[in-house]
Structure 1
């Protein structure tokens, strides 16, 4: 089973952008700036876009929380590696 969210990038095409991939329905890929989730944001729906704006808002909040937590975890891992 896939995680609910994944982070992807493409440093050759768009080095300043990252993508948060939502793997559950409604599936989508959220493009954002590496420095901020709502900067340069664009949503690419791979399933039909939900009609309910509350559902989209909830999905975006969950994606932002995942994104921020994942970046913090990566920073901690890199700090630990540098200390060793």
Structure 2
């Protein structure tokens, strides 16, 4: 299993909306660490892709940037 370092902002936004969220393995001030084998990772990726899309231009810039960084981090490790 590989670990994925995700930005905190989008992770917490996703979790607070009561969506399936990967379990936090570790955290620090900037990132949440999750396992790439967590079954909820796909839900997080799909949600991040939607938030990062042009359809969500009304989002605060920081949240949209965090969603884009989440997509990059997951794809870098998993190749999804």
Between Structure 1 and Structure 2, the one with more helix by share is 2
The TM-score normalised by the length of structure 2 is 0.35
Using CA pairs under 8 Å that are at least 6 residues apart, name the structure with larger relative contact order, 1 or 2: 2
Between Structure 1 and Structure 2, the one with more strand by share is 1
Bigger Rg, which one? 1
